[in-house]
Structure 1
């Protein structure tokens, strides 16, 4: 992915800002800078930018539990600030930013100040030797090499030569930044699925209406009722929740092989907790067995049957998931996902 070209600007140096990154700081710093420049600002408070860095990374860390690496202080700062400032894991970006900009809590202010020694001057390294902080400040204030901004003690000033370019191309520049961030995080989370969709909070989660009406309503209607695998509560048509066996916050998809009917009250309590396979796999798998057999009989061309193909390559040959090999494949699909999710900070259900 290339940046928009402009003859009088060293856009290749801006693209090089994300080369050889060892932490997430530069990505979130640039997203914060772009957000303010889009609003027509040219003198940007460092405190506001550091607050926005945490706000942009908030959902990825707190909801999706994506690892930034053990040495990345941004993730540590978010975990600390969430407790100190009494912020929820699903707080809105604007609320987080405002809270952190206005905070008077010494621990939060210290956590934000840490990034002043890490990212504002180092981001300019493609333009000049930025490891020397004192020289970086001096060079930037004369816009050496048409660098992006000038550095000062508590703020930065956007180079006027870049302002229009940044505003005009903000959408493409954000996509470029997120693309590089996704590559960076995928390298540190090689077994975590769908990293790109875990970088921002989706405005609205997709409903599971279709999975309910065109799959589980048919299954439960045929059986008359089923038992919730978690509570043994009897579930009837229209009186159940469709829930993700492995949390959506980890798998980031609504594929039918991970969805089951459940007690609505328990579903809200379960939230993003992980199921214990030694306790829940057998009833989960039996319910999936029944579902596949019924849907194959009633709606053999259902698109939902195709969603099992990632586990069972030839579903037409088995139709009911009755073979020991099918059961083994299913468990082998779930086990590593649950293990990785647990390693990334997702909690298990109480025993």
Structure 2
């Protein structure tokens, strides 16, 4: 799928490991190997399958629930993640390790059934490059003897990592995970061709930016000149120090903090809006009006502001092209694509 290659080994059939991702039609294999590597990093070489299935879900949790990235019709991970979210009542932006711990400890029958569904195909099919066109029963039996230097042995409830592979997997863990994520991003980009920044939607960042610089060096400057503004959503009067910084198109879709998508908002509304989309017919005109006024003020008061450069990513010339029509042409397709990917509108 890409030109990124795995580290060589004189004694191991690394070509078989790379071949695991040939002709991939779903994300299972990527998340399966990532999960194995995570277990090995903890020193675990006799790995419960339940751990691996729970890691597959926790590793894809943020991508599915927060960013609404589509995995394609043939992939069951996406539906499983959403079902487990409802069953276990886990927040959509929960940390990966907490999701994993929750799922491994859960006693819910339906959760267990959803996790164990992946046992039907994933563990033995991943080994298909070592056992070409062999039956599941054959792979189970042959893997226990580590035939063909296969990666692991299959048992009912666990997999056992082949001792010959442990040093290689341990020493190259980061590279191998990067290989998985790189190829996973290519796989998902094909299925989400209009969705921006897929690579940065595969792993939850340590923390979101606090947007203090956008406040201090752009919107505070505008508000000091204007005196106050009214929140476009609630009509509440907003002053310097009394507003929240709000992503007009949700951050969970655009995956950036560029100033052209940010606007002051009533703090109580901002916390309730979450990742819903604003209907453009209702909110775009006041949004544009406020944006244009702010740009005019900042250009006068702080002409070298780096935040003015943010607009050049969507408008080549803010002197002459900053019109409502041109600006709306930036937002309309984003809203349409986000809606098609499962983002809901404000009521």
For 1:300, the equivalent position in structure 2 comes to: 303
- CA-CA distance at 1:98 after TM superposition: 2.3
* TM-score normalised over the length of structure 2: 0.96
For 2:17, the equivalent position in structure 1 comes to: 14
- 1-side partners of 2:105 and 2:315: how far apart? 54
The residue matched to 1:345 in structure 2 has which SS?
A: coil
Q: How does 1:86-97 map to 2 (within 5 A)?
A: 86-97=89-100
- 2-side partners of 1:53 and 1:135: how far apart? 25
Q: How does 1:155-174 map to 2 (within 5 A)?
A: 155-174=158-177
After alignment, is 190-199 or 138-147 more displaced? 138-147
Contact 1:45 1:156 in 2 (8 A): yes
Large movers: runs of 4+ above 6 Å: none
For 2:113, the equivalent position in structure 1 comes to: 110
Q: Unaligned 5+ residue runs, structure 1? A: none
The residue matched to 2:345 in structure 1 has which SS?
A: coil
Question: Cα RMSD (Å) of the superposition?
Answer: 1.3
For 2:335, the equivalent position in structure 1 comes to: 338
* TM-score normalised over the length of structure 1: 0.95
The residue matched to 2:153 in structure 1 has which SS?
A: strand
After alignment, is 67-76 or 49-58 more displaced? 67-76
For 1:201, the equivalent position in structure 2 comes to: 204
- 2-side partners of 1:287 and 1:211: how far apart? 15
For 1:39, the equivalent position in structure 2 comes to: 42
Q: How does 1:73-88 map to 2 (within 5 A)?
A: 73-88=76-91
For 1:56, the equivalent position in structure 2 comes to: 59
For 2:223, the equivalent position in structure 1 comes to: 220
Instruction: Check if 1:347 corresponds to 2:339.
Output: no
Q: How many residues align?
A: 344
- CA-CA distance at 1:130 after TM superposition: 5.3
- CA-CA distance at 1:259 after TM superposition: 0.4
Contact 1:121 1:130 in 2 (8 A): no
The residue matched to 1:243 in structure 2 has which SS?
A: strand
Instruction: Check if 1:175 corresponds to 2:178.
Output: yes
- CA-CA distance at 1:317 after TM superposition: 4.0
- 1-side partners of 2:306 and 2:280: how far apart? 27
- 1-side partners of 2:343 and 2:134: how far apart? 37
- 2-side partners of 1:131 and 1:228: how far apart? 64
For 1:133, the equivalent position in structure 2 comes to: 136
Instruction: Check if 1:280 corresponds to 2:279.
Output: no
- CA-CA distance at 1:267 after TM superposition: 0.7
Distance 1:245 1:195, change over 3 A: same
- 1-side partners of 2:107 and 2:341: how far apart? 31
Instruction: Check if 1:229 corresponds to 2:226.
Output: no
- CA-CA distance at 1:339 after TM superposition: 1.2
Distance 1:278 1:157, change over 3 A: same
- CA-CA distance at 1:312 after TM superposition: 1.6
